[in-house]
Structure 1
């Protein structure tokens, strides 16, 4: 099932994507479940938003693909490397992203994102399916120059607009072998799959829950395959994940 958040006239709503249509559901599916209202709209008539704005946090993992760690001159960490993005970093599909004035080196990173469905803490890896609502596409945009100079990654990873997600949440996805691609102005620059990850999705969710209480709507970014590079004003980046769809954003100064 594909759960989207969208706007038609004014207030955001949730719906289930059904082919070229979206079936409106009542309220918030994270707390009220899937309750169809009977109303339907054509997808082309609505504007898709970020499928969720986290109530509290975006938990991110770095260097989970050995080839990506190597291309930036880093070793694979002995344990998952975590950092946070604020919820103000989240934007949606199709949103134009303003590159921050403090950086001249913004990099793209296509990633599979996990969306948490229930409050949880200290979840065993074999039980993580019970707390996952679904999955979506993400782009972990990074100010590389700030990342090198700041030490801490808060500014480099957490600036406004640095976490586009979408186009919707896929609730039924086997993430053991999922292809992740990134295209810059139509040219494929990233192409990997989750079999290349150092840690599994379940292990990452479990690891995050040992440090943080995870809340419904929290997002976990699970790392990027090799092929990262820099973006310029006027360019477009597509994140395509098998079984989910494509997240597209453009960039401006």
Structure 2
């Protein structure tokens, strides 16, 4: 299932939880309501928002129950050719498919070739830092280039979305705590990042870091350790690697992080970027207003965003 957060362009109401199926968006709450009506479950229909919430935070808090009900709702909609609550992709705008208050944990130096191009040392332990929610934008938003940076860079990354509370998880069980996977672009202001030993100021600029367009649930990606990952800038291939080259793989990361921090449904982990970033080119090639950055990850899809100057940004 491709889980997303959307709202109708013509209405611009509250964002709702949907699924992307055969090039269309299905509203999961409405689809499940139609299923219950078909089954004659009138009393359950009255509690539809608690059974399958429209809010992504509430949805994630239900865990596997929401996932199973969503699959039932999608199957019922497709089998019966229902159209209510089903929209063409052009009719909707997408938001990041994660709750607003999620913990956004990033992993640095997690591909050997990227470590080398950054002229750094291979770490003995995962290098962790965080972003704040002010940095996160959706698949259809523009990357805002702050007036305080001249060295804005891209970093395409496989991103994990947590599905249930995880504390002191063993790596052998780690994949069971993952709801699914999405695409992240860890936009980095290299001049701000490198002026102090701490990276935060270069990693969490307002409206800078896209995540999306949807979360592909774990049942559709049973082996996240073998996914191709590519990043293009204005159509030019810059990053071309595979998640098999991660220094610290996903089960290890879940075990490592959950020993330090309790992970909750909707939290995300950006797993690191491969080589090919603008900083590592000769001469360095940084993002400018008007550029388009596209990240493609096998079995997930494409995340494509334009870069705009801060003073010209609409959102």
TM-score by length of 1: 0.96
SS at match of 2:149: coil
Structure 1 position 182, deviation (Å)? 0.1
Q: State whether residues 102 and 268 of structure 2, in contact with CA within 8 Å, keep that contact through their aligned partners in structure 1.
A: no
Q: Which has the higher helix share?
A: 2
Structure 1 position 240, deviation (Å)? 0.4
Q: State whether residues 108 and 126 of structure 2, in contact with CA within 8 Å, keep that contact through their aligned partners in structure 1.
A: yes
Equivalent pairs counted in the alignment come to 253
User: What is the CA–CA distance in structure 2 between the aligned matches of 1:44 and 1:127, rounded to whole Å?
Assistant: 39
1:219 corresponds to which residue? 268
Alignment pair present for 1:17 and 2:20 = yes
Greater length-normalized contact order (CA 8 Å, ≥ 6 residues apart)? 1
Q: How does 1:168-183 map to 2 (within 5 A)?
A: 168-171=214-217, 172-173=220-221, 174-183=223-232
Q: State whether residues 53 and 87 of structure 1, in contact with CA within 8 Å, keep that contact through their aligned partners in structure 2.
A: no
Q: State whether residues 144 and 208 of structure 2, in contact with CA within 8 Å, keep that contact through their aligned partners in structure 1.
A: no
Structure 2: gaps (5+ residues): 30-52, 78-83, 279-285, 310-315
Structure 1 position 91, deviation (Å)? 0.6
1:236 corresponds to which residue? 292
Please identify, of 3-12 and 61-70, the stretch whose mean Cα deviation from structure 2 is larger.
Answer: 3-12
Q: State whether residues 54 and 219 of structure 1, in contact with CA within 8 Å, keep that contact through their aligned partners in structure 2.
A: no
Q: Select the residue among 65, 68, 76 that pairs with 2:111.
A: 65
- RMSD over aligned CA atoms reads 1.3
Q: Which has the larger radius of gyration?
A: 2
Structure 1 position 102, deviation (Å)? 1.3
Q: Select the residue among 235, 243, 246 that pairs with 1:197.
A: 246
User: What is the CA–CA distance in structure 2 between the aligned matches of 1:128 and 1:206, rounded to whole Å?
Assistant: 7
Please identify, of 26-35 and 164-173, the stretch whose mean Cα deviation from structure 2 is larger.
Answer: 26-35
Please identify, of 129-138 and 53-62, the stretch whose mean Cα deviation from structure 2 is larger.
Answer: 53-62
4+ runs deviating over 6 angstroms: none
Q: How does 1:138-217 map to 2 (within 5 A)?
A: 138-171=184-217, 172-173=220-221, 174-217=223-266
Q: State whether residues 55 and 215 of structure 1, in contact with CA within 8 Å, keep that contact through their aligned partners in structure 2.
A: no
TM-score by length of 2: 0.78
SS at match of 2:230: strand
User: What is the CA–CA distance in structure 1 between the aligned matches of 2:233 and 2:166, rounded to whole Å?
Assistant: 37
User: What is the CA–CA distance in structure 2 between the aligned matches of 1:202 and 1:149, rounded to whole Å?
Assistant: 33
Q: Which has the higher strand share?
A: 1
User: What is the CA–CA distance in structure 1 between the aligned matches of 2:163 and 2:100, rounded to whole Å?
Assistant: 11
Structure 1: gaps (5+ residues): none
Residue-by-residue CA offset, 1:85-132 (whole Å, 9 max, x unaligned):
112211100201211111110110000000011111111111111210
SS at match of 2:96: coil
Please identify, of 239-248 and 206-215, the stretch whose mean Cα deviation from structure 2 is larger.
Answer: 206-215
